[in-house]
Structures are given as C-alpha cells and as structure tokens.
C-alpha cells in the first residue's frame, strides 16, 4: 500500500509541476490540433499553440530572441530550422532515436523531423477511363500526348511545393535535363496552380486528370471514396521534412523535451497516422495504414543549402524557359 501511494504521489507531482507548453506551430491548424491534443492525452502536459506560417514564425522567434515567448517551434520545413539554428534561436536536445534515418534529424540535436511528405502523382481513375488512357507509371509517361491539357502542378513563383518538385527533378535529370523535361511536359499542363495543394482539389472532382504535389490531400480524397490513385515515379521523388526545435530561452524546457520524445516515439508516430493527418511518419516500425509504405518509395534528398542559394536563379530560369511553352 505504501509503495502504491508513493507511486501515485510521484505521478501527481509530475502532473502538478508541468507547465503549459507554448508552441508556435507551422503545421496546418486541423492537423496540429489532432497531434497536440493526442500528446496532451498521453502525457497530461497542456499545450497552448499559436498558428504561424514558416516565414512569420521565424521572424517572430528572431524578434523575441531576448525575451522568448514560445517553448517550441512545431512544423515548417527543415531549411527554416537550419536557419533558426544558425541564428542561435534554438537549443540542442538529443532524443532517443529508434528506426529513424539520420537524414531526418540534426546530428547535434537542434532540430528533428517528425513527419515527411513525398511528392506524388495523383490520378483520377474516372478521367483516365473517359480518355481511354493507361495510368502513367513514371515521370516520362507524363509527357505522352494522351495526357494533353490533363495535368496540373503548382507554379514555383508562388509555391514551395513546386520548387521542391523542380529541385527534385534536377536531381533526377540534371539542371538542363530538368528544364528540358518540364518543357516537354508543358503541352500537357492544364494550369500551373498558385497553391501547392491546388492540383488535388481539381483531380479529386475530375476537373483535371493528373496532379503533382505533396501527397496528403490525394490520400485523403482516396480514403473518402473519390476515384483517386497515387503513383510514385520509380526514378525518385523529392519530399518535405517538417521539423520541430526547442526555442532558446524556453521557460518549459522539460515539457518541450517531452514533446520531442513523444512525437518521435512509436506511439507518437503511430498517432500521426491514426489521427488521419495523412502525413508520413519517419519511423519504420509503425503501421502506415492506407499510406503506401515508405520502404517502397524512392526518395530524393535535396541539398537544402544549395536549394536556398539557387532558388531565385532557378525560378527565373523556369519562368523564362518553361512558362512560355504553355
């Protein structure tokens, strides 16, 4: 009995002394709420979250550097967390990694990927049946004339998703080869969407036959019963890595570390799947549900620094060489 009371006392003290974790989240509101609510249910740690897209979140962390208001930055691409590390806005924490590839975390512990999304090809099966076309099986198939005016992908002038596609194709074909490929693809492009998720909306309802973007919305449409299939070209696909970092000067470091540990644990990674975010977990030992297993997809790792340094030049080249073809 005394042992039981001692255990209960320790548990209650842990709950009593946990502070409220303040999180700046760059994950979309619906999915951030799903993940962080599950974290609170599992740990008892309350979370107050403020939604900020990547750029504004980084700017706010920098503005608050001498008086931090947040404990943890949750979401945003790895490139942003690299900048936060370089600007001395975050602190290292080496969580316990199991079944997580080293490409998904900083070796010094400053940032950790907790989900990733590959770029995929969303295909409306009803449209393919109407035009009597086989499903494309690789990048080259998309240039076939049977798909004329059937494809949508985002414009790299306005979409980070599209820039990820461009840099990924450069890894497959080389820079000149990628531009030549996109010029060959242009006659089949119905429109270049302003939003990175624009193609999925039109593919889902059949206004476009094929879309190219990060995959969550495609999988969501498919699970909701729309005639959508997802294809990952065997030549390889680029991906986004969403990271989290503990803010330097955090007033609740212990709680922030608990969130890092939880979201990288098997339970946290499984929650990302089970809560229907349609994000890909970065652990290999979870049930991927309706998602195609990561082990079956060839992923292309892009040098984030190179991509950042060459962004303006490459987008200008796309505008000059590819856009006029359409």
Cα torsion 254, 262, 106, 247: sign:
negative
Fold matches, 2-116+241-291 and 117-238+300-325: yes
Domain 117-238+300-325, CATH homologous superfamily name and number:
Periplasmic binding protein-like II (3.40.190.10)
Query: What is the distance between the alpha carbons of residues 105 and 271, in angstroms, rounded to a whole number?
Result: 20
pLDDT at position 3:
42
pLDDT at position 118:
96
Which residues does the chain have with pLDDT short of 50? 1-17
Query: What is the distance between the alpha carbons of residues 197 and 28, in angstroms, rounded to a whole number?
Result: 12
Spans of all domains in the chain: 2-116+241-291, 117-238+300-325
Q: What is the dihedral of CA 275, 281, 285, 290, to 10 degrees?
A: 60
Distances (CA, A) of 63 to 59, 69, 260: 6, 10, 24
Strands (E), the chain: 21-25, 47-51, 72-77, 90-91, 112-124, 151-154, 189-193, 210-214, 228-231, 237-247, 299-300
Query: What is the distance between the alpha carbons of residues 293 and 109, in angstroms, rounded to a whole number?
Result: 27
pLDDT at position 23:
98
Query: What is the distance between the alpha carbons of residues 37 and 34, in angstroms, rounded to a whole number?
Result: 5
pLDDT digits (tens, 9 = 90+) for 189-232: 999 998 888 999 999 999 999 999 999 999 999 999 999 999 99
Q: Are 35 and 115 in contact (CB under 8 A)?
A: no
Q: Are 319 and 179 in contact (CB under 8 A)?
A: no
The predicted model scores a pTM of 0.81
Structure tokens, 194: 């302003």
Strands (E), 26-177: 47-51, 72-77, 90-91, 112-124, 151-154
Q: Are 208 and 199 in contact (CB under 8 A)?
A: yes
pLDDT at position 293:
83
Distances (CA, A) of 323 to 41, 161, 192, 314: 49, 17, 9, 13
Q: Which helix (H) or strand (E) holds 306?
A: helix 304-309
Cβ neighbors of 227 (< 8 A, separation 6 or more) are 124, 125, 126, 206
CATH, range 2-116+241-291:
3.40.190.10
pLDDT at position 5:
42
pLDDT at position 15:
40
Other Cβ atoms less than 10 A from the Cβ of 177: the count is: 12
């Amino acid at each position: 009995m005394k042992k039981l009371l001692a255990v209960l006392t320790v548990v209650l003290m842990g709950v009593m002394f946990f502070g409220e974790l303040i999180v700046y989240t760059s994950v979309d509101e619906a999915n951030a709420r799903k993940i962080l609510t599950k974290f609170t249910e599992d740990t008892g740690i309350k979370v107050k979250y403020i939604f900020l897209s990547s750029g504004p979140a980084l700017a706010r962390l920098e503005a608050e550097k001498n008086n931090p208001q947040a404990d943890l930055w949750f979401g945003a691409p790895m490139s942003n967390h690299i900048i936060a590390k370089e600007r001395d806005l975050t602190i290292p924490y080496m969580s316990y990694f199991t079944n997580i590839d080293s490409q998904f975390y900083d070796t010094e512990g400053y940032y950790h990927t907790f989900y990733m999304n590959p770029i995929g090809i969303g295909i409306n099966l009803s449209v393919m049946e109407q035009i009597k076309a086989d499903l494309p099986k690789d990048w080259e198939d998309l240039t076939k004339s049977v798909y004329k005016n059937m494809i949508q992908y985002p414009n790299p002038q306005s979409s980070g998703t599209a820039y990820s596609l461009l840099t990924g194709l450069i890894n497959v074909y080389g820079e000149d080869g990628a531009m030549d490929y996109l010029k060959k693809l242009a006659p089949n492009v119905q429109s270049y969407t302003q939003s990175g998720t624009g193609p999925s909306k039109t593919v889902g309802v059949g206004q476009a036959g094929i879309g190219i973007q990060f995959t969550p919305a495609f999988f969501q449409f498919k699970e909701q019963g729309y005639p959508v299939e997802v294809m990952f070209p065997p030549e390889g696909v680029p991906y986004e890595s969403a990271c989290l970092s503990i803010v330097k000067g955090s007033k609740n470091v212990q709680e922030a570390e608990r969130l890092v540990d939880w979201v990288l644990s098997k339970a946290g990674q499984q929650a990302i799947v089970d809560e229907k975010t349609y994000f890909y977990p970065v652990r290999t030992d979870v049930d991927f549900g309706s998602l195609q297993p990561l082990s079956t997809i060839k992923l292309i790792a892009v040098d984030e620094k190179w991509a950042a340094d060459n962004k303006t030049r490459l987008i200008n080249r796309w505008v000059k060489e590819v856009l006029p073809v359409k």
